[in-house]
């Protein structure tokens, strides 16, 4: 019965065992060939359909775009939005003159010495009103920003005149003969002249704790120039043009600025208080 079933299943002939082993071998060989072809295709086929794949380059912002980005926000103080910077072309048309600045980089504040149309120099802190409707908004190393009627305007230091060295200033200030005192006068018309200041006012370094802390001011001659300049007995100059007096060279710097037609701004310590004073010299 068993033999009859096998004969019926294979059409009357029994399949040899050797032929079945060959079939399995060829099947495995074909499978390996197909897998090898797939592996070769994966190795040589380009990644992208276009066949020209390149890594994406780094996108770098232009300097102008970076400046605009960093000017739009403060990464260290995100609670307060930064004000847009004033354009370099918006120079104030007001009759104001900037003589000195003091920048506080730690707090972002500072102060400036500004004179109006009358020529009188005054010290203003950031946020103070320079004139009606004009607020000192920012202080930089060579200019200040003003808020005028809701718009931002710039006021620059006058750098058209070269600085005078201390040696030139001392050479241009002749010393009088020993024992001779030239009469100090504020001028026949009552105006203050450079010669009257040199001859009628004495500026001597004041030393505190071994350091020069200012220039002591004293009257000479008849005291006319001393009074015309606005000084009082006991005054001590602690800063010249916004620069603190910190050494003996400050005396030469002050002498260099005493020229006809100049306006010298000084900070005077009087009775424990610091007061701004302007020395406007006539021509």
Q: What is the pLDDT of residue 157?
A: 84
Closest by CA to 220, choosing from 185, 255, 263, is 185
Residues 30, 38: contact at Cβ < 8 Å? Answer: no
Count of CB atoms situated within 10 Å of the CB of 230: 15
Helix or strand run (H / E) with residue 83: none
d(CA 277, CA 99): 13
Instruction: Indicate the SS3 state at residue 228.
Output: helix
d(CA 262, CA 235): 22
Q: What is the pLDDT of residue 52?
A: 63
Sheet holding 143-148, edge to edge: 129-131, 134-139, 143-148, 151-156
> Long-range CB contacts (< 8 A, 24+ apart) of 116-123?
119/263, 119/278, 119/280, 120/278, 120/280, 121/263, 121/265, 121/276, 121/278, 122/276, 123/267, 123/276
Q: What is the pLDDT of residue 16?
A: 56
d(CA 136, CA 147): 6
- Mean pLDDT per 10-residue segment, the chain (283 residues): 49 59 90 94 71 70 76 62 52 87 79 84 89 89 86 81 51 45 40 81 83 84 82 88 79 82 83 82 77
Max Cα–Cα distance, the chain, nearest Å: 158
Q: What is the pLDDT of residue 30?
A: 94
* Distance set, CA 215 to CA 211, 255, 281 (Å): 12, 12, 19
Residue range 230-281, pLDDT digits in tens = 888 889 988 888 788 877 777 788 888 888 877 888 888 888 888 888 888 8
* Residue matched to tokens 């320079």: 130
Q: What is the pLDDT of residue 189?
A: 39
Q: What is the pLDDT of residue 187?
A: 40
Q: Kindly state the tokens that stand for 273.
A: 């208080």
Q: What is the pLDDT of residue 176?
A: 45
Instruction: Indicate the SS3 state at residue 191.
Output: coil
CATH for the 166-174+185-280 domain, from 3.40.1360.10, 1.20.870.10, 3.40.190.80, 2.30.42.10: 2.30.42.10
**CATH fold label, 84-156:** SH3 type barrels. (2.30.30)
Q: What is the pLDDT of residue 196?
A: 84
Closest by CA to 270, choosing from 216, 211, 203, is 216
Residues 270, 217: contact at Cβ < 8 Å? Answer: no
d(CA 167, CA 252): 8
Q: What is the pLDDT of residue 202?
A: 85
Closest by CA to 98, choosing from 127, 128, 136, is 136
Q: Kindly state the tokens that stand for 146.
A: 């003003």
Q: Kindly state the tokens that stand for 207.
A: 């030393």
């Amino acid at each position: 019965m068993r033999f009859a079933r096998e004969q019926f299943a294979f059409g009357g002939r029994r399949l040899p065992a050797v032929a079945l082993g060959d079939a399995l071998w060829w099947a495995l060989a074909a499978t390996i060939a197909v897998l090898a072809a797939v592996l070769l295709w994966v190795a040589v086929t380009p990644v992208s359909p276009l066949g020209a794949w390149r890594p994406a380059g780094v996108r770098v912002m232009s300097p102008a775009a970076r400046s605009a980005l960093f000017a739009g926000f403060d990464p260290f103080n995100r609670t307060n939005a930064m004000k847009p910077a004033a354009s370099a072309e918006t120079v104030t048309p007001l009759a104001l003159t900037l003589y000195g600045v003091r920048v506080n980089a730690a707090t972002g504040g500072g102060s400036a010495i500004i004179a109006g149309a009358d020529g009188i120099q005054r010290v203003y802190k950031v946020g103070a009103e320079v004139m009606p409707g004009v607020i000192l908004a920012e202080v930089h190393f060579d200019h200040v920003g003003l808020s005028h009627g809701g718009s931002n305007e710039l006021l620059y230091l006058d750098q058209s005149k070269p600085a005078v060295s201390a040696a030139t200033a001392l050479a241009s200030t002749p010393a009088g003969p020993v024992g001779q005192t030239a009469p100090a006068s504020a001028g026949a018309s009552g105006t203050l002249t450079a010669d009257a200041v040199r001859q009628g006012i004495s500026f001597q370094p004041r030393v505190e704790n071994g350091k020069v802390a200012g220039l002591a001011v004293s009257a000479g001659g008849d005291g006319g120039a001393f009074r015309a300049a606005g000084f009082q007995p006991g005054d001590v100059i602690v800063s010249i043009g916004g620069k603190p007096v910190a050494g003996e060279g400050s005396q030469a710097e002050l002498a260099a600025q005493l020229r006809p037609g100049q306006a010298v701004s000084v900070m005077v310590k009087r009775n424990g208080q610091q007061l701004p004073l302007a020395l406007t010299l006539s021509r």
